[in-house]
Structures are given as structure tokens and as C-alpha cells.
């Protein structure tokens, strides 16, 4: 690393770290895998262990079929055989899904599959206003012999639901989920790679899969069983579900390595060529072309999620399932409209939440840009959101955040309001987390219970923290992943729960990351020639490459709303870039001065500046 960068801060207050690969190592990877230099650098940074070449080969060449052999998921064989029997006997099946993209795509996959074999199937998905999961008592009144509970159910108890009072028939429940839990839901089969009683050595390959990814394994293996046992061709190929698997995996922010990378890499091709009339209509109405992971994450998934957030999850299911082009057009436009409305509602609630946070933590209301730490692609689905200056002296907010002085760091933010919309608290938590860079809980109230969403940072497994609070009798229910979760707390227990959470996370001594990891240096000509397609798709676990355009001359700086459009040149070339949600630093960027630009590279080459360093 050039000594020039040691200890230097960018205009946004970040420090820079640099890839430490040596030229000999880079050249060896280039020659071994036919990569360009930047692709080789990125490949080296994506793998760990002594056998880097072997791990890079696996990273670049993972095949879905390789993961479909010798499945070691607990209860997998039991659930697989039960579903096969239901197919054989033409049993009526009920699917109980979740309201997010993962739950919706999982539900549609099974509906498509069962109907292809002439099975009578019905589904139920709650809206976020209904709360997480399904009421076990409701299952008693549903006339089905097999229930598939998808992307939820792990934290519930279905004990005693074995008989249908109407006809005394047996009910079997199979849960397919991936949320962390220490709970035993008391069901026929419980397939969850993150269940507490699992052996991590046998579940390692599956622990980062979302429910859609797990469901695909089931459908793949059942399809094999049909061919082997019946000696007939499959009625529907598992490959047709790869578009849904890609949506679910990206929408649930799963780590894009191993099987997930294979899922998404192949699935994006299917999305671009999708024969699902509803999905095609949504893509066309959003104005998207060839689909990249960023398009799914920041355009398609928010529209699908908007249905369950502020309306009915059934709209999204209908969109992905419809065979009617007129209906597809109506549904896709409805979802886009709902997402626009969701953003408007989110802005209002976010303003209120941030006012509460800053009055308590910073003891002042600031005119804040809540998006200025987001990745460029994340900003596409964001409005220009600011905290307006306002006088709340006569309206004391209900704030549960620890006070932060100039000499005291904030360990966790906990904020609640009884009137916030259930479909927005997760988004608000994410926005505050990006700004404060600490774990965040945001709550709304139903009856005597506070229900909240959590978003976390590296080093704090928020799902595990929530589970521990449930086991300690402080929360009534909850679960989640490393980086996100949900929790319910009785009103009379809230203060005790809050104090426990504050102490628990404070003891972790989390160090906020203000570091941008730089992969390479390029000039403008090199940037124009850059191709990193062999390393895509980018996302969680495979971050967008960060490069430095070194020592470029600033020709112009123009504010466009909350964004900046800058034009620069080096010795030979000129180029214009966008820097999103950066109005607050525009005054610090001077024309006819030299700077280093930090860029985030995208699959579609619409690269954006994310930070600037003075020369």
C-alpha cells in the first residue's frame, strides 16, 4: 500500500484498507482460471484457507447438482418420504407461508409443483399486520392431511394438532425453515439447518440457505424419486423454479457463496428469460433489461415485499402464479404502486423514528441524510430522506435508547411507537442501523405486546441474542439470522428486556466499521475496459468491488437534489459519475483540484462514486 493513504480520512470519514495479494499470486490465478487481473484479485479476496487455488476453482465452478447428493439435513428424509406419500395418495395439502419474498417464492414453488401432479393444494400467507407465523389453532379447522409450513413456524408450538375434529383424520406438519431457534415446534418433521439441536458439521453446507433454497432441494429429490420409483418422466422440471430460488435468496440477503452462489448465478439467467407472465410484466414495467442481482435486490424484491407490508401478500403470490397476461399487467402495476406508497409511508415513519433517536442519543435534532452510508445500489429504492428540524417540546417521544454523549459510544438503539405500521419497522431499523452503525430494534404495539424488527452489524448475531432473551423469559417469542430478527415483548416486561439487551450487546464491545476495503487501483481507460463478469453475482458475501481512480482532476461538481454529479479527467480520458445521497459533502469538493475517487463497480457498469479522498 502507498504510504500516502496511511491514516488518511475520506470526505465521509472513512479509512481505507487494501488488498494484500502479491503479483506472483495474482498471475498464477489469472493463468489457472483464464481471468483478467482484476477478476483474479477479486477471486483471491473471496476465498480463505491454505488451498486457495482449489477454493477459487470451487468458487468459480460450483454446480447445483453437486449439492443434491447425500443431503444430511435433520428430518429431511422423513419429510421427503411424507411428501412423496402425499403425492402418491393424492392427499390434499395446505401450504402455510411467510409474507416476505422468501416465503412467497417458496409457497409458489410448491403450488406449481403440486398442481403439476394434479394435487389439490391451498395456501395461506399472513400479512405483516397479522404478525409473524400462523395460529396453530387455525390448523385444526383446515381440512388437509399434510401441512407444509414455510419460512416460519420454528419458534412456535404445534403440540396436540394431530386430529381434525371434523373427520378425525390425522394431520402431519412439516416445517421447512432457516431461522435460528432453540425451540422444538413438536411437528412430524422439522427441517431447519439452524435448529439448536443440529450438528454444525452436518449442517454447514445448508446453514446459509433461505427457505426457497431448501425447498428446491426437496423438489429436486422428489423429482428424482418419481423417476426412479415410477419409471416415468417428471411432470415439471426442477429447473423451472430457479428464478424463484434466485429471488428468495437475494431477497433474504443470503450469503452468495457455495450453493447460494450457484443458485443465483444460474437463477438470474432464468429470471432474464422468465416465462412467468407476472414476473415478466413486473420486469418490463420497472424498465429493467438483462437482470443482475442488484435489479432483483433493489427493484423487484421491494415490489413483491410491498404487497405483504401494506396490503395483501396474496397479490404477490397471484403475480408469480398467474397465467393471464391482462391479470399480470394489473398485478404488476399494483405492486409498483404499492411500493411507491410504501416509500412515502416509510419516509414519514422514518422521520419520526430518527427524531426520537437523535433527541435521546445526540440531544439535538439534526438535518440528517440517513442514506449516506448505503451502497449505491441500495440507494435506488430510497427516497431523499431527511430529518426536518421540528419542535417536539410538547410531544415527548417514547424512546428507549441509551444516551450517547461525546465520550460514550452507543451500543444499541431501541425505539418504539404504538402507531407505526408493522410492514415498515424492519425497513426503519435497517435505515437507522446504516446511520448509527449499531444493532437496532424498532417496535410497534398490538394489544399488550410490543412487536419489533431488528437489524444488526458484524459481530452481533442478533438472532442468537433474541433467542436468549426468549429463553430467559424476557421476550414471549422471537427468532432470526445473524443480521436480522424479530421479537415480541409484553408491555410489562419491556423495560426489563430493554435493560438486558443493552447490557448484553454492550458487553460485546462492538467496534463500528468505518473502513472501505479497496480491491484495486484503475485509471479511466482501465475502468472503461473492466470486466468482472466471472466473479458475479455480487451481494452479501460477495461484495461489489471497490476501486480507486487515483489522482483525477475535478472538472465540475453539480448538485442534483440530494445527489452529486461530478465530472473528472485523467491524462487521457474524461468521465461523469453520480455520487448518491452526498449533498452534505458537495461544498468540500472543489473544482480544478485533484482527488482520488472510490468507486463501487456494478455488473451493468453504471459504477458510482461512494467516497472521495483529497490529494
Residue 376's pLDDT is 33
Angstrom distance (rounded) from CA 109 to CA 217: 12
Residue range 96-107: mean pLDDT, rounded? 94
The pLDDT value recorded for residue 373 is 36
Confidence at residue 62, expressed as pLDDT on a 0 to 100 scale: 87
Select from 3.40.50.11030, 2.40.50.140, 3.30.70.260, 3.30.365.10 the CATH code of 3-20+515-614.
2.40.50.140
Strand order in 449-455's β-sheet?
413-416, 440-446, 449-455, 484-490, 477-480
pLDDT at 613: 94
Over residues 62-74, mean pLDDT:
91
Q: What is the pTM of this model?
A: 0.82
pLDDT per position as a tens digit, 483-512:
888 999 999 999 999 999 999 999 898 876
**Section 517-538 average pLDDT:** 91
Q: What is the mean pLDDT of residues 98-123?
A: 95
pLDDT score, position 166: 46
Region 522-530: what's the mean pLDDT?
A: 90
Domain 66-335 - what CATH class?
Answer: alpha beta
H helices of 423-544, in order, are 425-436, 462-471, 494-506, 524-529
- Express each pLDDT in 323-333 by its tens digit: 999 999 999 99
List the Cα angle 113/142/318 in 5-degree steps: 45
Q: How far apart are CA 328 and CA 320, in angstroms?
A: 8
- Whether 58 has a pLDDT exceeding 60, the answer reads yes
Instruction: Assess whether pLDDT exceeds 70 at residue 539.
Output: yes
pLDDT tens figures, 219-257: 999 999 998 887 777 788 999 999 999 999 999 989 999
> What does the block give as the cell for 49?
484457507
Mean of pLDDT over the chain = 85
Residue 387's pLDDT is: 23
Same fold, 3-20+515-614 and 66-335: no
pLDDT value at 394 more than 80: no
Tell me: pLDDT of 469 over 80.
Answer: yes
CA distance 246 to 291: 11
Helix (H) or strand (E) holding 201: helix 200-203
| 481 neighbors 463 (Cβ within 8 angstroms) | yes
Domain edges within the chain: 3-20+515-614, 66-335, 347-506
pLDDT at 372 over 50: no
The structural architecture, per CATH, of the domain 347-506 is Roll (3.10)
- Tell me the average pLDDT across 545-568: 93
Distance CA 192, CA 152 (A): 10
Residue 510: its pLDDT value, please? Answer: 82
More confident of the two residues 548 and 479: 548
Answer yes or no: is pLDDT of 398 > 80: no
467 CB-near residues (< 8 Å, 6+ apart):
180, 181, 182, 196, 478, 479
- Spatial contact of 150 and 124, defined as CB atoms under 8 Å apart: no
**Tell me: the pLDDT tens digits for 115-142?**
999 999 999 998 776 666 787 888 888 8
pLDDT at 482: 84
Amino acid at each position: 500500500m502507498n504510504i500516502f493513504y496511511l491514516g488518511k480520512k475520506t470526505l465521509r470519514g472513512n479509512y481505507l484498507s487494501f488488498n494484500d495479494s502479491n503479483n506472483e499470486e495474482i498471475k498464477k490465478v489469472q493463468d489457472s482460471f483464464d481471468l483478467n487481473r482484476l477478476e483474479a484479485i477479486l477471486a483471491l479476496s473471496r476465498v480463505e484457507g491454505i488451498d486457495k487455488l482449489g477454493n477459487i476453482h470451487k468458487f468459480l465452478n460450483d454446480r447445483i447438482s453437486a449439492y443434491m447428493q447425500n443431503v444430511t439435513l435433520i428430518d429431511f428424509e422423513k419429510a421427503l418420504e411424507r411428501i412423496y406419500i402425499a403425492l402418491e395418495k393424492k392427499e390434499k395439502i395446505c401450504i402455510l407461508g411467510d409474507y416476505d419474498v422468501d416465503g412467497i417464492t417458496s409457497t409458489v414453488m410448491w403450488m406449481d409443483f403440486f398442481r403439476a401432479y394434479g394435487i389439490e393444494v391451498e395456501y395461506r400467507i399472513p400479512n405483516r399486520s397479522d404478525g409473524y407465523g400462523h395460529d396453530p389453532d387455525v390448523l385444526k379447522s383446515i381440512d388437509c392431511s399434510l401441512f407444509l409450513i414455510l419460512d416460519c413456524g420454528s419458534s412456535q408450538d404445534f403440540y396436540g394438532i394431530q386430529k381434525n375434529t371434523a373427520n378425525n383424520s390425522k394431520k402431519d406438519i412439516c416445517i421447512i425453515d432457516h431461522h435460528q431457534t432453540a425451540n422444538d415446534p413438536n411437528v412430524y418433521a422439522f427441517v431447519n439447518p439452524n435448529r439448536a439441536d443440529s450438528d454444525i458439521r452436518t449442517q454447514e453446507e445448508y446453514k446459509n440457505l433461505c427457505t426457497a433454497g431448501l425447498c428446491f432441494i426437496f423438489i429436486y429429490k422428489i423429482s428424482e424419486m418419481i423417476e426412479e420409483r415410477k419409471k416415468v418422466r417428471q411432470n415439471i422440471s426442477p429447473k423451472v423454479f430457479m428464478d424463484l430460488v434466485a429471488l428468495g435468496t437475494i431477497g433474504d440477503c443470503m450469503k452468495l457463496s457455495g450453493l447460494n452462489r450457484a443458485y443465483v448465478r444460474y437463477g438470474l439467467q432464468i429470471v432474464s428469460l422468465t416465462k412467468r407472465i407476472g414476473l415478466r410484466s413486473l420486469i418490463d414495467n420497472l424498465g429493467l433489461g438483462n437482470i443482475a442481482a442488484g435489479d432483483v435486490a433493489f427493484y423487484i424484491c421491494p415490489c413483491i415485499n410491498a404487497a405483504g407490508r401494506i396490503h395483501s401478500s396474496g397479490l404477490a403470490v397471484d403475480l408469480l402464479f398467474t397465467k393471464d397476461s391482462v391479470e399480470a399487467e394489473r398485478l404488476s402495476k399494483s405492486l409498483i404502486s404499492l411500493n411507491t406508497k410504501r416509500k412515502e409511508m416509510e419516509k414519514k415513519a422514518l422521520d419520526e423514528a430518527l427524531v426520537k433517536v437523535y433527541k435521546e442519543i445526540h440531544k439535538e435534532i439534526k438535518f440528517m441524510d440517513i442514506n449516506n452510508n448505503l451502497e449505491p445500489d441500495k440507494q435506488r429504492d430510497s427516497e431523499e430522506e431527511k430529518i426536518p428540524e421540528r419542535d417536539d417540546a410538547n410531544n415527548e417521544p417514547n424512546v428507549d435508547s441509551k444516551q450517547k454523549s461525546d465520550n460514550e459510544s452507543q451500543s444499541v438503539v431501541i425505539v418504539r411507537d404504538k402507531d407505526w405500521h408493522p410492514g415498515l419497522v424492519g425497513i426503519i431499523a435497517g435505515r437507522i442501523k446504516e446511520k448509527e452503525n449499531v444493532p437496532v430494534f424498532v417496535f410497534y404495539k398490538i394489544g399488550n405486546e410490543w412487536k419489533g424488527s431488528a437489524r444488526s452489524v458484524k459481530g452481533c448475531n442478533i438472532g442468537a441474542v433474541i433467542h436468549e432473551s426468549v429463553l430467559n423469559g424476557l421476550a414471549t417469542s422471537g427468532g432470526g439470522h445473524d443480521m436480522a430478527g424479530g421479537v415480541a415483548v409484553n408491555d410489562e416486561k419491556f423495560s426489563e428486556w430493554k435493560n438486558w439487551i443493552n447490557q448484553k450487546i454492550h458487553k460485546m464491545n462492538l467496534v463500528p466499521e468505518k473502513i472501505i476495503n479497496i480491491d484495486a487501483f484503475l485509471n479511466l481507460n482501465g475502468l472503461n475496459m473492466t470486466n468482472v463478469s466471472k466473479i458475479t453475482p455480487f451481494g452479501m458475501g460477495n461484495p461489489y468491488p471497490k476501486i480507486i481512480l487515483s489522482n483525477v482532476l475535478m472538472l465540475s461538481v453539480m448538485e442534483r437534489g440530494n445527489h452529486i454529479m461530478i465530472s473528472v479527467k485523467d491524462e487521457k480520458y474524461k468521465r461523469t459519475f453520480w455520487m448518491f445521497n452526498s449533498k452534505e459533502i458537495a461544498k468540500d469538493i472543489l473544482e480544478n483540484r485533484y482527488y482520488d475517487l472510490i468507486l463501487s463497480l456494478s455488473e451493468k457498469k453504471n459504477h458510482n462514486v461512494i467516497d472521495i479522498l483529497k490529494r
